[in-house]
Structures are given as C-alpha cells and as structure tokens.
Structure 1
Amino acid sequence: MAWIAAFSVSINVLLLVLPLYSIEVFDRVISSGSVETLVGLTIIAATALVFGAAFDTLRSRLLSRFAVRFERHLAPIVLESTIVDATNRGDGRTHDLARVRELRTFLSSTTVVALLDAPFLPAFILILFFLHPWYGVIALIGTAILLAMGIASRWIARAEIAQAYQAAQKTQATLDGIVRHSALVRAMGWTRGAIREFMDLNDQALSPVVRASERVYAIGAVARMVRTILQVAAIAAGAWLVLQNEVLAGSLIASSILIARTLQPMEGLISAWRALASAHEAWKQVQAAAAPMLVRERRTLLPSPSGRIEVKRVTYRMATAQRPILAGVTFECQPSEIVVVIGPTGAGKSTLLRLMAGLERPNGGTIRLDSAALHDWDPEQLGQFVGYLPQEVQLLGGTVAEAIAGFDDQARDEDIVAAAMLAQAHEMILSLPAGYQTEIGRDGNKLSGGQRQRIGLARAFFGNRKLILLDEPNSNLDPDGEKALCSAIELAKARGATLVIVTHRPRLLTIADAVLLLRDGAQLAFGPPAEVLRLPVTSSVSKPHVIRRQAEPQKLTVRGTPR
C-alpha cells in the first residue's frame, strides 16, 4: 500500500506536465519562435508521460496483487468461520467467501484508482487559484455540483441495493431448494411451477437493481455534461481574461486540462457509487464473519482421551422454541462402552449427539470428555478423536477413498481400507465399478442409501476415534446389514472406542452396555438394557426414573428426578 500511495503521488504530479507544457508553448515558444525550445519541451513532456504510464501500470499491478493477497489472507478465516458457525450463515444469503471475492475484484478495479486520485483534488484547485481566482471558483462550483450529485447517487444506490439484497436472498434460497430437491420436483410434476416461482422472485430481485442502475447512469451522464460545460466555461473565462490582459494565453488551455483532471475522479465515483455501496455491504458481512475467528483464544492441546464421556444436567433450548429440546440430561459413559439412546421422535436424541460432538453448545450443564469440558478442547484436536455419523448421511464428493478420509492430507491407503473393513464395508466397496476409486457424485448421490450409510460408518471409524457418535446408523440397512453393523460396533469397542448410538430399532439393544431413554427432551431412564426396558414408562409418568450404575454393575439404584 505504501508503494501504491507513492505511485499515486507520482502519477498525479506528472499529470501537471501537460498544462505546464501548454503554458510554456503558448507563452514562450510561440512568442520567441524558438524551435529548439519546442523540441526540448516536447521531449521532456513525452518522457514525463511515459513515466506516468509506467507508474500507472505498476500501480494497477500492485493493486491486483494486493487484492489477491487480501483474499488469500482473509478467505481461510472466513471459511473457518463458516465451518464453525454454519447455522448463522442464513438460507439464501450470499456466501461470505463470495463476498471476499467481490471485495478482491473491487480492490483491483478502476473505482479504487479513482478513490486514490480523489485526495489530490484540493491541490489541483489550489493550482487553478494560482493561475487565476476565476479558474479556482469554476473548479469549486463544479466540485460542489458533482459532490451533490454524488450524494444523490449514493442515496439512490443504497436504497435500491438494500431492497434488491433482501429479494435476492429469497430468490437464492428458492433456487437452492429447487436444485437440491430437483428429483422430488420432477417426480411431483412441479417443474413448471418451480420455474415460474423462481422467475417471479428473480424479477422482484432484478427490478430494484435495474431502477438503481438507470438512475445512477442518468446522474453519471449529467455529471459528464457538467464537467464538459465547466471546461467550456474555463476556456471562455480564459479567453476573456486574455483579452483583458489579466492572464497569458497558455493558461487558457492549462485551466481546461486541470479542471477536467480535477473533476474526473469525482465523476468516476458518481457512476461507481453502486459498486461502492455493494463493496461496503460485502465488507460488513465479511467483517462480521471474520471477527469471531480473530478474537478467538488459543486453547491448550490436551492429552489423547480414553473415551470417558460425562453428561451432567445438560439443557438445550432453541431461541424460538417454547420448551427446551433437552432438559437436565445426566449420564456417564466409561471407555469402551456402548450406550444406545432410544425414545420417540422429537425426544431430543439427535440434538444430544450434536451436543456431544461439539457442534452445539448447551444452554445449561456440561459435557466432559476425560474430565475436560468440550468447549475447553481445541476444536481441531477434538475432531481428531470424535467420529460422527449424522442421521442424514452427508458424504463429501470425490472417490470412495476420499469420502472416507475426508480432508486428512496424511491419510494412508491402509488406514482407509482398515476403516472400511472395521465398518464391514470393504466387500461392498470392492463390488463398486472402480472399488475405492469409484466417484460417488455430489453428496454421494451415485450410491444407494445403504451404501452411503456404510461408507459414512467407515468415515466415522477412520483414524484414532475415541468417541464414536452414530445417529440412526441402521435406518437404511437390511437384516444382513444390521448384523454387519453390530459386528462393526463391537470391533470398534474392542479397539477402545466409546460408542453412543441413536436408534429406533431393537437390534442394537442386544449389544448395548447401557440404554438412555428420552422423551420430550427429558431423561426417563439410564442403565443396563434389561433394567431400563423393564420400567413401566408410559405417557402418564410424572416422575421419570433414572437408573444409575454404581461401582459394581450388578447393584442398581432407582432415583427419581424432576422432569
């Protein structure tokens, strides 16, 4: 930026060469008739203009490189913010990274060049006053007119862009939904309706943009006319002053050039207010995304956990919900245990797994892994020890091997195969057209639901996972697949992993060390499967029972806890 500023100063100083050249030619060369002086002045002027062009080129290159460096520095921060807090990005909202790219394009645009040249406007006005006060007054009048037009242009651009932005968000959200569920739209015969809905919303988004563009361009055209009129006024005033013998003839041309150069940046900014307003909105969005990452404290890396997980009085409530999704859930898993979470739909089972994975933070209570609260762990380090399979299996695109390894740049082939074999998915993967190199498509759309689930399970087992969280891992599996799943879970347990599994099917209860029963966000029971399933839990239960396992597993106590 220092070099950009230096080149800007040099460029604007060298722009004075042309008016000075005009003054010298008209006032000295023509009166003296000296050809040698004309040649010398022309060579000096041409040399200065060549240097000016070179400096302008260098400034443009520096701006482009600065813009690229800006994006390279900011994009990882913004992407990390998106990954950490994806829920707050908003449906239909322009992605923060798209805003970063928009800022990069803006920083290398001619609008920034006009902004860099604008501060030299007072210096050019002072020079015009030095030539004659009338020239300075004409320049000041032009500046005031263009400033007023710039304010009007800014007001129009901001008002229309704010309206267009809201409509564009809704349009983008609708488009995302149509593309994401294109098969459903086609199957239900909604194709024409979806296109009609998108086009109506798109028209609503485009109308403010078109209106703003038309008005800003109209103001820009008037600004160009004003600048031309002021140049004519400067020439006319100069001619009158020459006739009155108040100035030399050279100032007539010099004043016209200086006035044009003085008002040119302002004229450019009037047409660029829409880009400026859009860049300002982009900067606010990027700043809001990056700020939490920049102030986040570094966490001390903790020793590798054994897998003991402790959930103590955990409560979680959505801001818009009338009742908590989870209320006072308390239980503990020892290393190498299998805990199965059961309960009716809407009991809060999936939310509990998200909390245990560190994807959400409870409103009350704590979740500890090896005595350390989850929020005390470094998120990147914690992720290395947690395997998570959500209810809706989400696979990253690419090959099967890449889907299992994710973004682990140190993943070895033998580790990928070992995870697949642990998940009982090795034979299934080998039956695919290209085995582990089979392209799975976007989100794994080239695979069946069962295949996606088995590969997602292999991904959850990949690496040194001490806590494995599985949400409905058997929802798309047939009896043979369930049998293989049970075998895979027991193998993971044998390797020292603690597993917490949400399910609606009874098969997994046969391998569980403990069962957690939830209903309406409340914990009804926790303990060995035989004891939990024997409890007379009905919808009329007003005081749920929690079975606590003591130091000796055979000795059980039953304690009532408030809902």
Structure 2
Amino acid sequence: MRQALSACRSAFIGVAAFSGLINILMLTGSLFMLEVYDRVLPSRSVPTLVGLIVLASALFGFQALLEITRGRLLVRVGNHLDYVLSPRIFDLIVQLPLRAKPTEAQPIRDIEAVRSFLSSTGPTALFDMPWVPFYLFICFAFHTMIGVTALIGAIILICLTVATDVLSRNAIKGAAQQGAQRNRLAETGRRNAEVLVAMGISDRLLARWRTSTGQYLSLQRRANDVSGGFGATGRVLRMMLQSGVLAMGAYLVIQGEATAGIIIASSILTGRALAPVDLSIANWKGFVNARQSWRRLEQLLKNLPPQPKKLQLPAPTQALTVETLMVAPPGAQKTSVQEVSFTLRAGNALGVIGPSASGKSSMARALVGVWRPMRGAVRLDGASLDQWSAGALGQHIGYLPQGVELIEGSIAENIARFDPDASPEAIVAAAKAAGVHDMIVGLPSGYETPIGEQGTNLSAGQQQRVALARALYGDPFLVVLDEPNSNLDSEGEEALTKAILGVRARGGIVIVIAHRPSALAAVDLVLVMARGTQQAFGPKDDVLSKVLRREQAAVPAPLKMAQGG
C-alpha cells in the first residue's frame, strides 16, 4: 500500500504546491475588502475601485483554475492507486477462501473507500490545515485581540474534530461489519433462491435480514448523528466566531486601535483560517472509513504476500507421490486428512472411496494445490507442488470439483480455461476426450453458447460434462475428478469411463473420488478412506474384495426363533 502511494509522490507535491498558492490567493477577498474600506471609500476614487476589481477578478480566476487542477490531481491519484493495486486485490479475492478462515474481509469495497476519499474534498482539508497558523498570524498582525479570538475558535474546533473521531470510530467500524453481514445474507438469498422459496425458508431468512438491517442502520445512525452533530456545531461556532471577530473589530475601531477595513478583512480571514477544520469535521466519516479500509488492506496484503517468481520446471511425466499428507481446512486446526501416503505411476488411475466426511474431497484439494498441507508433501516427479507457480502448475493439472464451478462466458472459453491463445483444435480435442462434442454442437450456438452466471444456461449434467472437458484441456498429467458422475446419466458415465481410459493411454494419472461404483470402472487402483485416514490401498480387485468381506463381517447374523415357546 505504501509503495503504491509513494509512486504518487510527485502528484502529492503538486497538490501541496497548488494548495499553497490557493491559500495565498485566498487572501484576495480579505485584502480587497480592506482596500475598499480603507482606500477607495475615503478617497472616493472610481479608477482605484475598477483597478481593484480587475486585479481581484484575475486572482479569483487563477484560484478557480488551481482548485480545479488540484481536484483533478487527487482524482487521478485515487484512480492510480486503484489501478496499481487491482491485480493484488483480485489475487486476495481468489486466495482468501483458500488460505484463511472466512472473515469480514472486503478488499473491493475497501479499495473503493480509499479511492473515493482520495477523490473527495477530504484530502484538500488535510493539505490546507498547515496554513491555519499562517492565517492566524495575519489575524495577530491586524491586532492581538483579533488573533486571540481566532486562536480560541481554532482550538475549540480542533477539539470538536478529536471528539468526532473518538465518538464515531466504533460506530463506523461496527456499521462496516454489519454491512458486510447484510451483503452475505443477500448473497445467500440470491444463490439459494430455489431452496428458500420451495421450502418456505425465505421468511425465516428475512427475519435475520431485518435484525441485521436494524443493527446496521442503528450503527449508521449513531455515526451520522455524531459526525453530523459535531459538523453542525462546528459550522455554527465558526459563524459565531466570525461575528465575534466583527464585534471585537468594532470595539477596536471605537477605541481607535483599528480601521474599518480591518473589521471585515479579519472576519473573512478568521472564517478562512477555520475552514479546513470545519471541512475536516464534515469529511471525518469518510476519513475514518478510508483509514479502516487502508489498515484492513494493508494487513491482508501483508498476510498474503505475492508469490515470488519460480524456476520453470519441466513438465511432469512419471509419478505422483503423496508423503504422510496431513490437511486441514483453511483457518482450522482440526485436520480432515491424516498420514496418507501412496505413489502413482504414469498410466495409473486411482479410485478413492469411503463414507461421507472421510476426507476424500479435502485430499483432492491438497492434491491439486488448492489447500496447502499442514504436514507432508504432494510431489510431481519428485518436486513438491509449492515449487511451481500457480500458472505453471495449472497447465499440468485438470480438476473437476465436487461442486461444479463454471465461469460466465462461452462454452469454448470455459473449456479453454479462458486462454486467449487457445486453438480451436485443442478445445474440440478436449470436448471429444470428455465425450461432450456432440452435445455442444447440438446447442443453438454450439461452442459459443453462453454459460450464464454460474452455468445457469446449462443443466447440471451438461455443466458437469463441460467441466470434465475443461479438466482434460491441454492433456494435463494429473487429472483429479471429485464425484464426476453425480449428475450424469448412463451415456455420460460411459463418456467418463472413456475419458479416464484416454488419460491413462496417453501416460497421464487420474484420481477419481466416487460414491457410485460405476465411476471406478476404468481405475486400476483403489484407496479407502475413513475418518480422514488411509484404510487400504492397492489393486482395485484386491481392495474391493477386502472391503466387501469387511462389510459382510460387520453385518450381524439374523436372530433365530426359539423352538417350543
């Protein structure tokens, strides 16, 4: 964050320079009034008045030009910060669910809050604040009592600014957290609309929404009440102070210690001296939001540093080795996979079976590098997965997750993994390998058929088969399929079996996680999981026969009726 902001150092220097010139030009109004009352009116000189008007108009024009330029510079600073950080922000969005326990992290809204504040009038108050002593010094130059009056007003307004920060900080932070919770509830309702309506859950979720909304609005109201109340108080005090300076100036004129021009000039100067403090109070809520967003982003970027460039390794062609693998979900301490070890050679296909919650899907995520092992390693040709960059490793891995995740775009883009340089031949080859080519060309737009958000334009079976083609695109060495036949009919299952045999025939490795035995038709090895541990591993027929004998032994013998009553 600091590096991105430091790249705008020259822009900030320009803003500071413009602020200095603007604050000097702000004296135009006061000096104009001083000259009119003390020079033009006593002399009744129209040419002097015209000259002053022309000079003041030119200075006001320069001031307007400088303020426009300063505002545009700040907008461009905010946009530059957003643009420079956007790749890391997107990386955060992708990596957070895989590296840490879900939190209130909201990197998109945080960077928008920072950019919006930088593009607002808030920073101008910060750049104008150092000029407050300059205006107070001029007030003292007019007369000590005028300076003292302005200084007392400045101290009161600064105290109001500090009080605004102290009293609104927790409310603004709580409102941000409740706002994030409301967004999650809204997203839950959108994603699960069918279930909510069909099973009558929407009213109950609505109750949660109302509770969260009430808390959110209450915190927002408290924050707005504090900042708005102190802002209104500050504006009234500033007007009272200007009136007080007028009264003090009138008293000094009566005593013969000041001129009539000083009365008006000092009033204008006092208002200008306190304007940055008043503007700071008005923008304090935005400043606090931006400050909290900045700290959250800084912490997230620190916790998830960018991956260093890694040496390009040769494509794996020989083996997959799993060494005493231990896996836990991101942010959790309880492991879901423990002490799993096996080796697969090129051409092997492994079926992983076991009851629900036995750690099969967790192991699959570790095998493709989505979850990092707590202990042990997953190796391709002897190199652990963390020796590859994500982009390089992805070329050698095909993954079909249990919950099919297609991305909005065309079928061709999804199969090609959104590779802009993908050839039509490679896309069609992957579709044919998955046995889905005929289905795709039968659609109205063929390979250009839009997927829709989360694949809504395709049936569940079609989504799964397109996702299988995506997993096979580019002939990856390791293909991991998690419940690949959960939504398939008999034709789809036959295509799945051919796809697995095709990977084996070209020297790849396939791992199939399945509940239905039909998915194991093309595998030659089986791994049995239970309670996160490896129970058996070996040739399919041997392992399945042992599992069958174990299940038969676990079934109790039927009770026999006693004879003779």
Q: CA contact under 8 A between 1:395 and 1:403: conserved in structure 2?
A: yes
3-state secondary structure, aligned to 2:137? helix
Aligned to 2:37: 26
Q: Deviations over 1:522-546 (max 9, x none)?
A: 11222221222233674899xxxxx
Of 486, 491, 496, the match for 1:480: 491
Provide the C-alpha distance between the structure 2 equivalents of 1:348 and 1:22, rounded to a whole number of angstroms.
Answer: 81
For each residue in 1:202-244, what CA deviation from the matched residue of structure 2 results, as whole angstroms up to 9, or x when unmatched?
1221111012212321221111110001001111111111222
What is the distance in 2 between the residues matched to 1:468 and 1:319? 23
Secondary structure at 1:301 match in 2: coil
Give the whole-Å Cα distance in 2 for the aligned partners of 1:137 and 1:88: 58
The 3 A distance-change label for structure 1 pair 519 and 152 is same
Aligned residue identity for 2:119: S
Contact 1:77 1:293 in 2 (8 A): no
SS state at 2:323 partner: strand
Report the AA paired with residue 311 of structure 2. T
Match of 2:297 in 1: 286
* Residue equivalent to 1:528: 539
SS at match of 1:446: coil
Q: Is the 8 A contact 1:92 1:168 kept in 2?
A: no
* Residue equivalent to 1:356: 367
Name the counterpart of 2:273: 262
Tell whether 2:423 aligns with 1:412: yes
Task: From 452, 456, 471, give the equivalent of 1:441.
Answer: 452
Question: Match of 2:350?
Answer: 339
TM-score for the superposition, normalised by structure 1: 0.91
The answer for the alignment partner of 2:47 in structure 1 is 36
Pair 372,535 (structure 1): closer, same or farther in 2 beyond 3 Å: same
Greater shift, 399-408 or 223-232, is seen at 399-408
Instruction: Give a deviation string over 1:174-202, Cα, whole Å, max 9, x none.
Output: 22211110000111123333334322321
Q: CA offsets, 1:100-153, max 9 Å, x none?
A: 122211110111222221121111111211221112111111111111211221
| Maintained 8 Å contact 1:157/1:273 | no
SS state at 2:536 partner: strand
CA distance in 1 between counterparts of 2:481 and 2:170 reads 49
Answer whether contact 1:114 1:265 (CA < 8 A) is retained.
Answer: yes
Please tell me whether residue 509 in structure 1 is matched to residue 520 in structure 2.
yes
Q: Which residue of 1 aligns with 2:383?
A: 372
Matched AA of 1:522:
T
Alignment-derived partner of residue 7 in structure 2: none
Work out which of the residue numbers 212, 233, 247 in structure 2 matches 1:222.
233
CA displacement 1:334-367 (0-9 Å, x = unmatched): 1232121112211111111100111111111111
Question: What is residue 402 of structure 1 aligned with on the other side?
Answer: 413
What secondary structure, in the 3-state scheme, does the structure 2 residue paired with 1:518 have? Answer: strand
8 A Cα contact 1:419 1:459, kept in partner:
yes
Within the alignment, does 1:232 sit opposite 2:243 as a pair?
yes
1:200 alignment partner in structure 2: 211
Residue from 116, 120, 129 that aligns with 1:109: 120
For residue 495 of structure 1, report the CA deviation from its aligned partner. Answer: 2.9
CA contact (8 A) 1:92 1:172 kept: no
Q: In structure 2, which of residues 485, 488, 511 is the aligned counterpart of residue 500 of structure 1?
A: 511
Higher mean C-alpha deviation, range 66-75 or range 93-102: 93-102
Counterpart of 2:276 in structure 1: which amino acid?
P
| 1:298 aligns with one of 302, 309, 312 | 309
The 2-side partners of 1:83 and 1:322 are apart by 22
CA distance, structure 1, for counterparts of residue 330 and residue 508 of structure 2: 34
Distance 1:130 1:295 in 2: 56
Query: Partner of 1:69 in structure 2?
Result: 80
Aligned residues: 541
Whether the 8 Å contact between 1:92 and 1:169 is mirrored in structure 2 is no
Partner letter of residue 64 of structure 2? A
Residue 33 of structure 1 and its aligned partner are, at CA, apart by 3.5
* Counterpart-to-counterpart distance in 2, 1:301 and 1:14: 60
**Are the counterparts in 2 of residues 92 and 176 from structure 1 also a CA contact under 8 Å?**
no
Which residue of the partner structure matches residue 550 of structure 1?
none
Cα RMSD, aligned residues only: 2.2
- CA offsets per residue over residues 285-307 of structure 1, 9 Å max, x none? 22223234556432222222225
Task: Say yes or no: does 1:158 pair with 2:196.
Answer: no
Partner Cα distance (2:279, 2:375) in 1: 55
Residues 1:131 and 2:142 aligned together: yes
Which runs of no fewer than 5 residues in structure 2 stay unpaired?
1-11, 554-565
Shift of 1:313: 0.6
Q: 1:276 aligned to 2:287?
A: yes
Question: Is the 8 Å Cα contact of residues 315 and 329 (structure 1) preserved in structure 2?
Answer: yes
* SS of structure 1 residue aligned to 2:341: strand
Which amino acid is the alignment partner of residue 268 of structure 2? Answer: I
For residues 323 and 227 of structure 1, do their structure 2 counterparts lie closer, same or farther at Cα, with a shift above 3 Å needed? closer
Q: Is the 8 A contact 1:325 1:348 kept in 2?
A: yes
Paired residue for 2:562?
none
Match of 2:90 in 1: 79
Work out the CA distance in 1 between the residues paired with 2:463 and 2:440. 11
Counting aligned pairs with the same residue, the percent is 38
Contact 1:340 1:516 in 2 (8 A): yes
Q: Could you say if the C-alpha distance between residues 166 and 68 of structure 1 is closer, same or farther in structure 2, counting changes exceeding 3 Å?
A: closer
Per the alignment, do residues 293 and 346 of structure 1 end up closer, same or farther by CA in structure 2, a change over 3 Å counting?
Answer: closer
Cα offset, 1:412, TM superposition: 2.4
1:384 to 366, 385, 395: 395
After TM superposition, the structure 1 = structure 2 runs for residues 82-93 of structure 1, keeping only pairs within 5 Å, are 82-87=93-98, 93=104
Question: For 1:419 and 1:442, how far apart are their aligned partners in 2?
Answer: 22
Contact 1:336 1:493 in 2 (8 A): yes
Q: In structure 2, how many angstroms separate the alpha carbons of the residues matched to 1:237 and 1:479?
A: 95
Q: In the aligned structure 1, how far is the partner of 2:294 from the partner of 2:121?
A: 18
For structure 1, which segment, 61-70 or 428-437, has the greater mean C-alpha deviation from structure 2 after superposition? 428-437
- Contact in 2 for aligned 1:171/1:202 (Cα 8 Å): yes
Check if 1:11 corresponds to 2:22.
yes
- 243-252 or 347-356, which moves further after superposition? 243-252
Letter in 2 for 1:317: A
In structure 2, the CA distance between the partners of 1:523 and 1:507, relative to structure 1 (3 Å rule), is: same
Quote the offset at 1:271 in angstroms. 2.2
Q: What is the alpha-carbon distance in structure 1 between the residues aligned to residue 425 and residue 142 of structure 2? A: 81
Bigger mean CA offset, 300-309 vs 109-118: 300-309
Say if 2:458 is the partner of 1:450: no
Distance 1:144 1:358, change over 3 A: same
User: Separation in 1 of the partners of 2:465 and 2:200?
Assistant: 32
Instruction: State the shift of 1:90 in Å.
Output: 6.6
Q: 1:23 touches 1:250 (CA, 8 Å); kept in 2?
A: yes
Q: Give TM-score scaled by structure 2 length.
A: 0.91
* Unaligned stretches of 5+ residues in structure 1: 542-563
Q: 1:170 to 1:292 in 2, by over 3 A?
A: closer
Kindly provide the amino acid, as one letter, of the partner of residue 61 in structure 1. R
Partner of 1:170: 181
Give the one of 519, 541, 546 matched to 2:530. 519
